[in-house]
Amino acid sequence: MSARRRPPRWQQLPRGMRDWKPADLAALRSLEAALRGEFTRWGYREVATPALETFDAVSRGVGDVAPDALFKVLDRSGEILVLRPDMTVPLARLVAMGDPADADARYCYFASVFRGQEPTRGGQRQFHQAGVERIGRGGPDADAELIALAVAALEIAGGGDFQIGIGHAGFLRALLAESGLDTEDQQTAQSLLIRRDFVTLRALLAESPPPIADLVLALPELRGEAALRRAAAVPAAAVSLAELREVVEALAAYAVADRVEIDLGLIRDFDYYSGVVFEGYARGHGLTLLGGGRYDGLLSRFERALPAIGFAIETERVLAWRGADGFASAPLRVAYTASRRRDALLVTRSLRARGHAVAADPIAPQTTLGEGSLILDDGGASRVDATGARRPVDDATWRDPGALAAALSLEPADANEVRASNR
């Protein structure tokens, strides 16, 4: 058997990148439109930042990261630039450079972020995200608002069986501080927890006090009220646990208790998180759909000390979880003969004016028309049904855009956003 021939390099995408075909991109844009509407209703205003940031800005924001975790670009002047690995750092930079009077703000964004590490099989290095950042407010009420908005966003995106886990970045730091490990080994322990390498972690904690080592190793199981009671045995974590209880109390007013659970084993992947952290995941799918938390110290790295909290939704994962069918539909196809061109284009123009997506073409010998298509020819008007058969449409119906839209079960182009917003 001959070896499979590799396509020429120009036919290959860079590893971890993808093309977006019309149906997939329409689903993504429709999801973004639904989320944009929800964010706007909560008072968040959209901002945008460049895809490229200076290396100094990114390294100042994300701290110590693996050298291959960033996409670096060398410009003609020799300056190192970086494709943004997240949107939180660019937003922090934007706020630090902004109007000093604008110290209490709600922002949202829709953007691509890039990770330079070698992707796993089928993994991506470019990700589409939708997110929000609440700048200038600390305390449990701001935290609860963001978590409740995360619940609302996932419900807009498709509802279904999802859960938001909430924890506190300070809890793990307190545990590791009591473990007897030095700073470098504490960072190693956190990396091992993220990778779920408990064999190596157990060996690393061999000289730690047994109660502390046991709690660190049990982190993935520390959920619910029982976890808070068990964690109370660590005096150094008292402040973190008290803050977490205050957030849970504030959340009660949002009536989202069925969507939220305490998860003390939750670990975020950037070191700027300082307080409450949270993730949303789809049960039974193994997908983390969103993540975020409080990062009160990040803006001080940019010489503007302000409290802040935010989250990002992985919109491609949401589409994989939810499916694309409910977010976008193909345009109505109108096919016509030369003798019916004027009528066909009149119908097309009228339907577009009502907000429907319509594509019109002359009938060609090889034309294949799918279900719902409208045909105007010398025999009159007809529509294609599910079996491929043509069904007559009377003159009164096709000449009336409202009646025709009803007969063809058409929805406005923005119907998916409207339907999602009404859930």
Kindly give the pairing relationship between strand 45-46 and strand 105-114. Answer: parallel
Query: How far is it, in rounded angstroms, from Cα 392 to Cα 398?
Result: 10
Query: What band does 253 get if pLDDT is binned at 50, 70 and 90?
Result: very high
Q: Is the pLDDT of residue 401 over 50?
A: yes
Contacts of 25 (CB under 8 A, 6+ apart): none
- The pLDDT value recorded for residue 283 is 83
Query: What band does 121 get if pLDDT is binned at 50, 70 and 90?
Result: very low
- The pLDDT value recorded for residue 333 is 92
Q: For the chain, which residues make up each domain, given as ranges?
A: 12-322, 332-421
How many CB atoms are located within 10 Å of the residue 207 CB?
9
Q: Is the pLDDT of residue 343 over 60?
A: yes
Q: What is the mean pLDDT of residues 96-112?
A: 87
Contacts of 259 (CB under 8 A, 6+ apart): 151, 162, 163, 164
Q: What is the mean pLDDT of residues 119-132?
A: 79
Q: Which CATH fold would you assign to the domain 12-322?
A: BirA Bifunctional Protein; domain 2 (3.30.930)
Long-range contact list for 94-102, CB < 8 A, 24+ apart? 94/47, 94/49, 95/135, 95/299, 95/302, 95/304, 95/306, 95/308, 96/299, 96/302, 96/303, 96/304
- β-sheet with 71-74: strand ranges across: 52-54, 80-83, 71-74
CA angle 242, 243, 244 (to 5 degrees): 90
> What are the tens digits of pLDDT across the range 153-171?
999 987 778 999 999 998 8
Q: Is the pLDDT of residue 59 over 80?
A: yes
> What are the tens digits of pLDDT across the range 209-247?
888 888 889 888 889 888 888 888 888 889 999 999 999
For 69, the 3-state DSSP assignment is helix
Task: Give one DSSP letter per residue of 249-263, joined into a string.
Answer: HHHGGGT-GGGEEEB
Q: To the nearest whole number, what is the mean pLDDT of the chain?
A: 87
- The pLDDT value recorded for residue 195 is 82
Percentage of the chain modeled with pLDDT above 70: 92
If DSSP states are collapsed to H, E and C, what string results for 155-224? Answer: HHHCCCCEEEEEEEHHHHHHHHHCCCCCHHHHHHHHHHHHHCCHHHHHHHCCCCCHHHHHHHHCHHHCEH
Q: Is the pLDDT of residue 65 over 90?
A: no
Q: Is the pLDDT of residue 358 over 50?
A: yes
Q: Is the pLDDT of residue 140 over 90?
A: yes
